[in-house]
Amino acid sequence: MARTVFHVDVNSAFLSWSAVQMLRNGYDTDLRLIPSAIGGDEEKRKGIVLAKSIPAKKYGVITGEPLWQARKKCPELVIVPANYGLYSRMSSLFTEIIDHEFPVWQKYSVDECFIDCTGMEGIRGDPIQSAEALRSEIKERLGFTVSIGVSSCKVLAKMAGELKKPDAVSSIFPYEVEKKLWPLPVDELFMVGRSTARALNLMGISQIGDLAKTDPEIMKKRFGKHGLSIWLYANGIDQEPVVSTMREEPKSCSQSVTLPHDMSCEKDIIPVISRLCAALAYRLRRLGKCCCEVTVFFKDDKFVTVSRQQRLFRPTDISGELFEKTRSLFRLIYDGRPIRALGIGFSALTPKEGCAFTLFDDPANLGRKFAIDAAADSVRSRFGGESLLPASALISPTFEHLKRFEPNEGHIRTVCPF
């Protein structure tokens, strides 16, 4: 039986999700219909375009460029700050619909997934009809649009989804490869980046069809295994299965921030570590985990990253203990250079139920620490992370900057309460 695979991609995800939220909150203009962009915070030196609307794209605004450059191209550009908590929630709603409708699907990123619809024609109709129904359901229930590519394999489904945007269903079945895929520029092929495209152009390969007709041995000799892979993709050949997305137990988590200015004074840096540690320890307890290893990492003003890990004497989720360990580890590796970005990580996570005390632990003292964290967590869950912070996070003269931090999402997709 021939396979049927969908690739579902949210159109301009970050911008669409922000637009939906703002409309629901009474904003009278749809960001998707005007020149707009999702941008980082320039005061925190994250001032780049993260996503842009189609009207903004017509002005030449591109993802990844500095906001000042985007404004120069489009003076009336409306810039909305990123909201990663919102994106995480919208992504979950998006995948909940997929999970409810299809038994076999694979999350590919925060805003796209693959679906194996093989054998579902009797339930959902022919593949194009099924994809249209899914597209309409997402638009009606969630308020944003998706583009869906339909084919017999993952790579062709992903390429098909790029043919029509936004809010569309398109296909590239094997018999359509020569007509729909081969005329496209070679740099539009999945897994062909800028450097590979330049190298292919120098070989006289400008269209995907040119690549498909090239001797695969030449491609393998020039680019190795990657050359053979893109040759197969150009010919519409891809045997990779759609692997069902399973909710795995997290093995680590991390938290980091880009500082509002370079810091080299320990009195300024330690409160940042305290703030990060409090947020990450809270997240750890919500997961019901203890960590066995801590990591401290920072990036200096030359963008050089320094990191160090250290094993703990025993697993813990106690905020005070984790702060003491991360502070000591930072002091061990810090040499006084200016710091641009700073982060911590907890790894080798283990269920809290399986964590044992040692002979050197004072049960009464541990009980007090557990009670303090439990009380603090209760306050934060009701009133938000800013409602209660450790005193060690308040002693810096730069605290007015620190309290506006929105720590980046770490390795696990839990919305940071701070």
Catalytic residues: 112
Number of neighbouring beta carbons within 10 Å of residue 348? 16
How many C-beta atoms surround the C-beta of residue 88 within 10 A?
16
3-state secondary structure 68-125: HHHHHHCCCCEEEECCHHHHHHHHHHHHHHHHHHCCCEEEEECCEEEEECCCCHHHHC
Q: Quick one: tokens of 49?
A: 């375009």
Tell me how long the chain is. Answer: 418
CA distances 154 to 56, 104, 405, Å, are: 30, 13, 39
Do 62 and 52 meet the contact criterion of CB atoms below 8 Å apart?
Answer: yes
Q: Where are the beta strands (DSSP E) in 112-233?
A: 112-116, 146-151, 168-171
b (16+ CB within 10 A) / e for 137-155? ebeeebebbbbbbbbbbbb
Q: Spell out the residues 6+ positions from residue 63 whose beta carbon is closer than 8 angstroms to its own.
A: 49, 50, 51, 52
Q: How is 9-67 classified by DSSP, letter by letter?
A: EETTHHHHHHHHHHHHTT--S-GGGSSEEEE--GGGT--BEEEE-HHHHHTT--TTSBH
Residues 6+ apart with CB under 8 A from 289: 250, 317, 349, 350, 351, 352
341 three-class SS: strand
In the DSSP assignment, the letter for residue 243 is: P
CB 188 within 8 A of CB 234: no
Q: In this structure, are residues 36 and 15 in contact, taking their beta carbons and an 8 Å threshold?
A: yes
Nearest alpha-carbon partner for 38 in 10, 19, 60, 11: 19
